[in-house]
Amino acid sequence: MLTPLPCVSPPPSSGLPPLPLLPSTFRWVDSVVLPSGTHNRRLHRRGGGAGSAGKGQTEGAEAAEGCGCDGESRNSAALGSNAGKASIESIHSPSTRQKSDQDQSKGDPTTATDTHTIDDEKGSNNIDATPDNHDVVRHRMPSNSGNPVAGQDADRPLSPTSSPSSSTASSFKFEFECSSSCRCLPDQCQLRPTQASARLPLSLGYLPKKGWGVFFSPPPSCAPARPPSLPPHTFVAEYTGELISTVEARRRLAIYDEVSALSSLPPSHPSSLPPSPGIGKRTSPPAGCTHAVEHVKHAQGHGQANAAPAEVPILGPCPPQEGDKEESGGGRVHAGPRPHYLLTLLEEGDDFYLRTSLDATHCGNVSRFFNHSCDPNMYLVCVRNGGLLPRLCFFTQRRVHAGDELTFAYGEREENHASKGGIQDESGARFGRSCAKGTPLPQSQSGRPCWCGSEKCVGNLPYQPGL
Ligand SMILES: C[S@@+](CC[C@H](N)C(=O)[O-])C[C@H]1O[C@@H](n2cnc3c(N)ncnc32)[C@H](O)[C@@H]1O
């Protein structure tokens, strides 16, 4: 019998060669214009807010008092099962895809197939997390699982190696978690912050100018005198979607770009509009708001192993539908260009990149509705448990209160970069520029307004041409 080991050091190797700690970067690909043959050496680094994400264990006591309504939240039994394992399958044809969907609906674990290949871009050692052959690989992960409401784990601070702040100096965090190959006891292990089975009470609301957003919405019956809150560094959800090759990502982006350009609205600055409604102003969706329900169901109904659509309720008014009249005052009640849900993560080694593209357009979970903020309350952590493929996990960056919208920074701002040629962090890693203010943008994206409403808002959504 194996002796359980305490989790005080990084988990043992899973058989793969050890990975260097890569400065990780990601971008929300709102638009991509990649000149053909361009050698992609541009990098994208996440916003600076996460850089403060470290001193994890604060405010715990208060948080722990917040809510006792999480009866299901600590399901340690689930920790040893499929939770958090990288179940990946390569889908080569419609028939296999159908089969895999059936399997998925039955909850069958799927054989993991690591499919990392070397990208064939000129002279680079770009590693694509998927085969560069248009095959689609589905990344099946539990989502919206992990820390329970209101800092249940606050009295159990993450160990130095598991804290999201403990990785490189990059503002994008990078973590290894324990996996089934470890000899630790899963329900006692503190190196599995994203593998628990609890779910946070989240809801979706439709906001003028931003579209759908995700809110922390504990039930009113839950500690009404002292509404629960989420402490900093609470795991919120994992970004799930189709894991696609870079070639496929570029192909799709070209299409999304075209659609987005067609639906673009004339840009206007957020300051000319009233602030987004808070949760207090939202009401139940009107009867017959099938548009909203169907839209959200579509997104939630796939790829979310442990949450049915009904479990992420919709709060607030119904969004406008085709043919709705324009708002008085000139602005249309619409989020602007049609959104899409392709997230690309770039991790940089000395002489290679690891690129991961997840497209939640066709399957995904609630995390696809996280909006951008220039002063976000979440950051992304690139988690690995036992494999090369990263899992993109959202953690709270500061305390999140009932009714707050959950947001993250889609990209990096120019002010976070020391020079045009990129910056060097404390570890000597270099980062390229991204989302630079003042960078000439293609017509369809230039001036696309940010409606985050924060005091730190720079007015435009982050944007970086090229993938
Ligand atoms: C991943 S989606 C987020 C969910 C989206 N709001 C929806 O309704 O599906 C990203 C898109 O949301 C919109 N968006 C997100 N954050 C925004 C912000 N701060 N200001 C304006 N639009 C935003 C943009 O259209 C963006 O392309």
Q: What is the CATH number of the domain that holds 33?
A: 2.170.270.10
Residue of 461, 463, 464 to mutate, ligand 1, most atoms within 8 A of C-beta: 461
Closest atom, ligand 1, to C-alpha of 30: 27
Closest atom, ligand 1, to C-alpha of 337: 25
- The residue type of 375 is D
pLDDT at 375: 93
- DSSP-H helix ranges across 267-356: 290-300
Is residue 286 assigned to a domain? yes
Q: How many domains does the chain have?
A: 1
pLDDT at 336: 56
Is residue 156 assigned to a domain? yes
pLDDT at 37: 29
Q: How much distance in Å is there from the Cα of 24 to the middle of ligand 1?
A: 23
pLDDT at 404: 94
Backbone φ/ψ region at 281: left (φ over 0), alpha (ψ -120 to 50), beta: alpha
Residue of 268, 340, 371 to mutate, ligand 1, most atoms within 8 A of C-beta: 371
pLDDT at 312: 61
Closest atom, ligand 1, to C-alpha of 407: 16
Residue 373's CB is within 10 A of a number of other CB atoms, namely: 25
pLDDT at 52: 32
CB contact at 8 A, 160 and 383 = no
List the beta bridge partners of residue 26: 345
Is residue 439 assigned to a domain? no
Closest atom, ligand 1, to C-alpha of 373: 19
Is residue 108 assigned to a domain? yes
Is residue 3 assigned to a domain? no
Q: Could you tell me if the CB of 394 is within 6 A of ligand 1?
A: no
Q: Could you tell me if the CB of 385 is within 6 A of ligand 1?
A: no
Domain limits for position 232: 24-66+78-321+331-431
pLDDT at 204: 85
Is residue 224 assigned to a domain? yes
Helix (H, G, I), strand (E, B) or coil at 192: coil
CB contact at 8 A, 101 and 112 = no
Q: Could you tell me if the CB of 451 is within 6 A of ligand 1?
A: yes
Is residue 458 assigned to a domain? no
What DSSP string describes 417-432?
A: -SSTT-EE-TTS-EE-
Q: How much distance in Å is there from the Cα of 339 to the middle of ligand 1?
A: 6
Q: Could you tell me if the CB of 319 is within 6 A of ligand 1?
A: no
Q: Atom 22 (ligand 1): residue with closest C-alpha?
A: 210
Distance CA 104, CA 69 (A): 30
Residue of 369, 372, 435, 463 to mutate, ligand 1, most atoms within 8 A of C-beta: 372
Is residue 10 assigned to a domain? no
pLDDT at 406: 95
Closest atom, ligand 1, to C-alpha of 369: 4
Q: Could you tell me if the CB of 450 is within 6 A of ligand 1?
A: yes
Q: How much distance in Å is there from the Cα of 30 to the middle of ligand 1?
A: 9
Token pair for 394: 């959202």
Q: Could you tell me if the CB of 212 is within 6 A of ligand 1?
A: yes
Distance CA 357, CA 128 (A): 9
* pTM for the structure as a whole: 0.56
Outline where DSSP puts E strands in 324-370. Answer: 342-348, 353-359
pLDDT at 211: 83
Q: Could you tell me if the CB of 368 is within 6 A of ligand 1?
A: yes
pLDDT tens sequence for the chain (467 residues): 445 554 444 444 444 444 334 444 444 443 322 222 222 222 223 333 333 333 322 222 233 334 333 333 322 222 222 222 222 222 222 232 233 333 333 333 322 222 222 233 333 344 444 433 222 232 222 333 333 333 223 322 222 222 322 222 233 455 666 777 777 777 777 666 666 654 788 888 888 788 888 999 887 766 556 668 999 988 898 888 889 988 998 898 888 877 776 654 433 333 333 333 332 233 344 344 443 444 444 444 333 333 333 346 666 555 555 444 444 333 333 445 667 788 887 776 677 677 788 888 888 888 888 998 999 999 888 888 777 788 888 989 999 999 999 999 887 543 333 333 333 333 333 333 232 223 333 333 445 788 899 998 888 887 655 55
Distance CA 109, CA 54 (A): 34
